[in-house]
Amino acid sequence: MTANPDAPTAQAGAPDFVPPAARPRLGTIVLLGSLTAIGALSIDLYLPSLPTIGRELAVDAASVQRTMSAFFIGMAVGGLVYGPVSDRFGRRPALLAGIAIYILASLGCAAAPSVDWLICGRFVQALGACSGQVVTRAIVRDRYHHQDSARIFSLLTLVLGVAPMIAPTIGAALVTVASWRAIFGVLAAVGAIVGVAVATRLTESRSAATASQAVGESVLASFGTLVRQRRLIGYMLAQGLNGATLFTYVATAPDLLITQYGFSPRAFAIAFAVIAVGVIGSSQVNRGLLARYDSNRILAVASLAGAAAGIALVIAAFVGDRWLVLPTLFITLSSFGFISANAMAGALGVDPTRAGATSALIGSASFAVGALAAMLAGAFHDGTPRPMAIVMAVALAGTALALHTLALPRRFAAA
């Protein structure tokens, strides 16, 4: 197989701090972005079908909502497996195994005769989907330095952001012309296409040093070493709490926009896409800023701005005017684009020889915190945007606290 020009060659005994590669090819970014987006697509594509699923399976909204919670839990649990596996056996085998699980589970969901079957299917589907996110992060760290990794993660956010922009519209169309089961058929087809691309286009990036480290260390020992590193915990908490704002929004958006604000399914899809523009746009502004500023400096400022936006969102929610809530929500969620890529790059740079295990911890923590935040917003649901706003504000305040007290070097924490 032809060597990938984006991947540096690893020599036995060489350190994992590889030199920056040449500018990545568009095909590489699209493939890595597609792997990352599978999880988001699996959520966003079927959001418009939730009421239809409830009617056809004769269950209430709470039962259907559990299919979403099961997916989040599956992403959190599965992430702990793929990172160490990819460190020991390679990035490609871990990805191909995960994609195979994803395809089979998607077909199982399409055939679900009951909501309990669908809940189980969504859990297994997530076990496969999380391989794309976890292993892709490790691949980026294999190939790039801290600052360059942050730029690549911002580029991946651009690809990732396409999913919430177009997926709800496609999902609504599928439900209208076919059925909610067709959505899972489409997801299985997407998984198959991405799997073929991985098998034919993606070369192995794991270094000899990472392989040697993984072979000589158990998974638990690897995780134990990582969780004792203060800076990693800070970045990981920041990543999880910041991501919780997005999880909370995704889980509450159908009720907020359709039930509370009376948006039609089409208007819901448009509003969802507009919010996604904020996430995408901020990630690309972040990529531009990285050419001039250290990623930790951006984190220091963005985390404080995000916390302030969260407070503003709570105020808007208590005022209750939708045209005050929605623009403030747009600004608040835009903080994700500045924080996510930089926090991820910082975390993966703490211990590069355990990039897969680090990615696993970050991914699992993010989905666990995200699922908890979404459940809290649902548990305190009162027919207003207040529970959503409070959960998001607390998460953003926690993001700033974790970064400034644990992760950032002192000169940046003082920003």
Residue 179: what are its φ and ψ, rounded to 5°? -160, 175
Residue 245 confidence (pLDDT): 92
Residue 233 confidence (pLDDT): 93
Q: Please, which pLDDT band fits residue 80 given cuts at 50, 70 and 90?
A: confident
Distance (Å) of CA 348 to CA 38, 66, 134, 358, 403 = 21, 32, 11, 6, 15
* High-pLDDT (> 90) share of the chain, %: 35
Residue 3 confidence (pLDDT): 39
Q: CA 157, CA 165: separation in Å to the nearest integer? A: 12
Amino acid present at 131: S
Q: Look at residue 321 and tell me if it is in a domain.
A: yes
Q: Look at residue 84 and tell me if it is in a domain.
A: yes
pTM score, two decimals? 0.76
Q: Look at residue 69 and tell me if it is in a domain.
A: yes
The answer to whether 349 touches 128, Cβ cutoff 8 Å, is no
Q: Look at residue 251 and tell me if it is in a domain.
A: yes
Euclidean distance between the first and final Cα of the chain, in Å? 48
In this prediction, residues 128-155 reach a mean pLDDT of: 85
Comparing 329 with 170, which gets the higher pLDDT? 329
Q: Look at residue 10 and tell me if it is in a domain.
A: no
CATH number of the domain that 335 lies in? 1.20.1250.20
Express each pLDDT in 215-252 by its tens digit. Answer: 777 778 888 888 899 999 999 999 999 989 988 888 88
Domain hosting 62: range is 26-413
Q: Look at residue 12 and tell me if it is in a domain.
A: no
In this prediction, residues 387-408 reach a mean pLDDT of: 95
The answer to whether 261 touches 322, Cβ cutoff 8 Å, is yes
Q: Look at residue 263 and tell me if it is in a domain.
A: yes
Residue 81 confidence (pLDDT): 85
For residues 82, 40, 318, 372, the Cα torsion angle rounded to the nearest 10 degrees is -30
Residue 352: Cβ within 10 Å count: 21
How many domains, in total, are found in the chain?
Answer: 1
Q: Look at residue 15 and tell me if it is in a domain.
A: no
Q: CA 213, CA 373: separation in Å to the nearest integer? A: 35
